[in-house]
Amino acid sequence: MLVLKKTGLFLGALLILAVAGCTTTPTTITATTTQTNTAAVTATTTVIPLTLNISAASSLINALNEVNSAYTQLKPWVTISLNSGSSGTLATQIQNGAPCDVFLSADAANMDKVQNANLLLAGSRVNLLTNKIVLIVPKASTLGLKSFNDLTLTTVKLIAIGDPASVPAGTYAQAAFTQLGILAAIQSKFVLGANVTQVLQYVDSGNVDAGVVYSTDAISDSNVTVIATGPAEVNATIVYPAAIIKASKVASAAQDYITFLNSAQARTIFVKYGFVMAS
């Protein structure tokens, strides 16, 4: 039996409370904790395995895969089921009852939709990350483009952006074009992607002349070149909020996960992938 004293608490104690009453087969976990001015103590306890359903914007996936790996190494009884897509699509899925414990959106607007539908756990919403949009071209491009304004040139035939109806990066791209006064001149050239990852693939493959993605996406692909950064006023509005879904049956575990996303270990990973912490 593990006796929980102030001298050393097993890391999983909180999650035992979170999943009490679950019928899943318990798992025995052995942990070693170091107590101040004393020898290390090995303790064994029983936890109940659980699954966290995470719905996350496509632009987060590369970083989240590494973050989730780090998290499950610390909490081996937790399985993470990751559902990725455009933030608008994910918000609609959640509103339609799709299983989700934590929602990570690439914009405030789609998180607002879920919150306004009274589907978020009160007080759980936090701003996690920021990002910026950039204009990219295929690495082998010979068009000599150097700015957003160059998209109006007749040599530019196709421009990939996320579908503004559901993809935040597309909404930010449209805002940038509007601010620069070029939207009307280039709108007929748009190729709409279902998510920002698809936009990146269009540019990577050379199927379009240019595209607008997040800087974090551009960093991940050596086959594209960044030629310009979006207007500062637009980039200042980009934020990635995180929140727990009210219907979650493992809300305590979901809160522990969000807390980890703000930990020093997770921050190091996010920064490596080009994100900036919102706080």
3-state SS, residue 217: helix
More confident residue, 279 or 109: 109
Report yes or no on 214 lying in a domain: yes
Above pLDDT 70, what percent of the chain?
A: 84
d(CA 131, CA 235): 7
Q: Answer yes or no: do 34 and 120 share one domain.
A: no
Helices (H), the chain: 13-18, 61-74, 87-95, 108-116, 168-180, 183-186, 196-204, 215-219, 232-235, 251-261, 264-272
Q: Answer yes or no: do 146 and 102 share one domain.
A: no
Residue 171 neighbours by CB under 8 Å, 6+ apart: 107, 109, 162, 164
pLDDT digits over 258-279, tens only? 999 999 999 999 999 999 999 7
Report yes or no on 2 lying in a domain: no
pLDDT digits over 126-151, tens only? 999 999 999 999 999 999 999 999 99
- Residue 96: what residue type? N
Tokens describing residue 162: 């996320």
CATH of residue 273's domain is 3.40.190.10
Report yes or no on 137 lying in a domain: yes
Q: Answer yes or no: do 201 and 125 share one domain.
A: no
pLDDT, residue 29, reads 56
Q: Answer yes or no: do 64 and 155 share one domain.
A: no
Beta strands in 89-157 (DSSP E): 102-104, 126-130, 133-138
What is the average pLDDT score of the chain? 89
Dihedral pair phi/psi, residue 139, rounded to 5°: -55, -30
pLDDT, residue 50, reads 97
More confident residue, 156 or 21: 156
Q: Answer yes or no: do 114 and 145 share one domain.
A: no
Q: Answer yes or no: do 144 and 118 share one domain.
A: no
Domain count, the chain: 3
Give the bridge partners for 105, in sequence order: none
Candidate from 43-47, 90-94, 107-111, 208-212 with smallest mean pLDDT: 43-47
Report yes or no on 77 lying in a domain: yes
Candidate from 16-20, 113-117, 221-225, 259-263 with smallest mean pLDDT: 16-20
Report yes or no on 1 lying in a domain: no
pLDDT digits over 164-223, tens only? 999 999 999 999 999 999 999 999 999 999 999 999 999 999 999 999 999 999 999 999
Q: Answer yes or no: do 143 and 102 share one domain.
A: no
User: What domain range is 126 assigned to?
Assistant: 50-130+238-277
Q: Answer yes or no: do 217 and 198 share one domain.
A: yes
Report yes or no on 106 lying in a domain: yes
3-state SS, residue 52: strand
Report yes or no on 17 lying in a domain: yes
Q: Answer yes or no: do 230 and 143 share one domain.
A: yes
Average pLDDT over residues 79-98: 97
d(CA 201, CA 221): 9
pLDDT digits over 229-245, tens only? 999 999 999 999 999 99
pTM for the whole structure: 0.83
Q: Which of 85, 255, 205, 225 is nearest to 191 (CA)?
A: 205
Tokens describing residue 84: 């990725």
Dihedral (CA of 212, 216, 221, 227) sign:
positive
> Would you say residue 30 has pLDDT above 60?
no
Q: Answer yes or no: do 151 and 116 share one domain.
A: no
- Residue 110: what residue type? N
